[in-house]
Structure 1
Amino acid sequence: MRQLLVLLAGGLLAIGGCNNGPEAETNGERQISVNITEVQPSTFKHFLNVQGNVESDKTISITPRVTATVERIHVRAGDQVSKGTVLAELDGEVTRTQIDEVQSQLKLAETRYERQQNLREENIGSEIQLLELETQVRSLENQLATLQEQYDNYTIRATIGGTVNNVMIKEGENIGPADPAFQIANSEALKVTAEISEYYINRVETTDSVRVELPSIDRELSKRIDVVSGVIDPANRTFGIEVYIPNIDGLVRPNMLAKLNINDFRRENALTVPINVIQQTNEEGFLFLAEETPEGWVARQQPVVTGNSYGDAIVVEEGLQAGDQVITVGYDNINDGDPLSVQDR
C-alpha cells in the first residue's frame, strides 16, 4: 500500500511538471511567456464605410400639355423606354371629332376644286371661283394641321430615353399641365450619392479615393469622389458626396444600393501597433515593450500618445521608435521590469 501511494504521488508530480502555462522559470526566476512584434514604419490608411444610392444625373419629370382624363397608361415603373415612346394617352375625343369634321370638309373642298379646275381648263367658269375654292382648301388644310397638333398633346411621350422611375397618374384620373405624370432617369448618366456625418467635413475631399460596391449585381470599381457638398443638412447634420460611375455591362439601375469605402486619411511612414495592446491609466496611454538585457528579456512600460485607428491598428504619434519590440501577447499579465520568456518574434 505504501508503495502504491508513492507511485501515485510521483505520477501527480510528473503531470504537474508538464504544464505549459504563461510562466516559466530560469535559474529559479519566474518568467512570463510573451510574443513580440518589431515596430516598423508603414503606410496607414483610414476608411469611412457608408451606404449610398445609385441615381441618374438626368432624372426628369414629364407633365401633360393639356387638361384631360387619363385614358390609357402604356408603361409601369422599371420599364426601359426610348425617346418618343408613348407613355400614356389622354381623352381627346372632342378634338378627334373636330378633326373628322374638318377632314370631311377638306375632302369635299378638294373635290370641288378639282372639278372647277377641269372646267376652267375648258374656259368654263371664272378664275375668281377657282381661286376661292383653292383658298378654302388651303384654309381647311391649315385648320386640320392645327387640330392634329393639338390632338398630339393628348399623347404623353418620353422626352429622353431611360428607366421609368415612377408613374404618378392613374387611368380615369383628370390631370393638367401642373401635374407630374412620369419620372424618367437616364441610365447612361449615373452617380452614387451618400450622406456623411459633419464630423468628417474637413477630412473628405474630392481627391479621396473610394471603392464603390454594388452588391445586387456583384460588381465593384475604384473611383475618386467627384462632388463634396460644403453645406450641412440641419435636419440630420450630414453633408452629401457624389461619385460618377459608368453603367457597368448595362446592369446598373437607378435606386440600386451601393456601399462606399472612402479613404479619408493616409499617412506614410507611420508607426502602428495592434489597438488592443494600448492600455490606459488615468488619462495616459501606455503599452509594454520587451527589452533585451545581458540578464535576458524584461518588460518596460512605455507611455504613448495615439492618433487615428482603423480596424485593429492604431497610429502611435509619440513614445515609439522604429525597431522597438512591442509585446502583443501576454501584455495583460506583466508589470514593468518583469523578466520575460519570448516565444515568438
Structure 2
Amino acid sequence: MISRSLLAMLLPVALAACGGGTTENETGEMAGMEGTEKGEAGERADKDAVTLTARQIADAGIEVAAPTVGGASGTIEAPGIIQGDPQGVQVVSATLGGRIVSLTRNLGQSVARGDALAVIESREAASLKAELEAAGARAALAQSNLRREQRLFAERVSPEQDLIAARTAATEAGIALRLARQQLGATGGGGGAPNRIAMRSPIAGKVIARPAVLGQAVDANAELFRVANLAKVTVTASLSPADAGRVRPGTRVEVTAAGRRQEGRVTFVSPILDETTRLVQVIVGLDNAGSTWRVGEPVTAAVILPSTGGGGISVPSTAIQSVENRTVVFVRTPTGFRAVPVATGRPNGDRIVVTSGLTGKERIATTNSFTLKAELGKGGEMDMD
C-alpha cells in the first residue's frame, strides 16, 4: 500500500503529464503574447490617425466636405485650338472699286451693326446714285400720268386703253425705282457725297483685322476690315474613333490654358474621320463674354464622360495623398482625421473618381490635406502653440 507522503509527491507530476494544469511561467508567457498582439493592433489603428481640435483644423485652413456621389466616370484629354464662332466672324469687303477716303475704326475698337467703317470714292457709286434719282423721277412722272388718266377715264374723256397703259407704265417705273434702291443699298449707301459709298459692318463686335489703308485704290470685293463677335468661341479638338464614340453633343468639357479654366459643352461630333489624321473632329462651344480666350490659342480640352453606373464617387484631387505607398483620403473623426486607403480611377477634371474605400457619407479633408500627411509623419499629434 502506497504511503500518503509518496502519493502527494507523484500527483503534481501526473497532472502535468496529462496537460491538466498550467505552470506559472506558461501563464506569464501567454499573457505577454496577448498584450503584445493588442499593442500591435492599437499601433496599427493609431498610425493612421491625426489628432486635431476644431480650432487647429480652422487655423490650418483645412476644409471639410462630403464626396460627390453620382459624378462622372473619367475624362478624355486632347489638345485643341480656340476658333471664332463661324457665325461671329464677318469680312467687310469693298462693294465697288474706288479709292478709300475715310476709315473710321482701328484694330480692337468696338462696332455696332450698320456702323460705317470706311468710305470709298467711286465713279460707279456716282452712276448708281444718279440712276436712283432718275428712277425716282420716272416713277413720280408715271404716277402723275396714272392719276391724270384715272380722272379722264372717270369723266369719260379718255378710253380705258389709255388708263391701262398708264397703270402699266407706273408699275414698271415703281419696279425700276425699287431696283435702283436695292442696287445702291447693296453697296452700302451713304457716304456723304454723290460719288461716295460707305462700307458698313454687318454685325456687332470688334475689329480684329484692318488691311485697308487710307488713300488706297481698291477693287471690288477687296477685304477692308474683319469684324468678330467673340462673345462665343469654339474649341476644335480631335479624338480617336473609340473615344469619340463615348462623346455626345451636350457632354461637358473643361478647357484649360495658362492658368485659366472654363467649362463648355460639346456642340458637334463629326460623323466622319479626317482623311489625313484618321481622327474625329469634336467642336466645343465656349462662352467668351469676358474676352478670356483668344482665337488661335492652343488649349487642353478634357471631355468629362458621364457616369455609367449611376453611383460613382469622386473627390477633389487636393483630397488625395500618398502615405507609405498607399493612396488615402483623410476622413473626419471626433478627434481629428484618419487616413483611409482608397482605390482611384481616371481623373475627372479637377476631381478624381474613387472606385473603393468610401461610401459617400463620410466627411473628408478637401483642402490642405498635405498638412495632415505631414502631421501623420510626425506621429499624428499637431503641436499646440
TM-score, normalized by length of structure 1? 0.46
Which protein is richer in helix relative to its size? 2
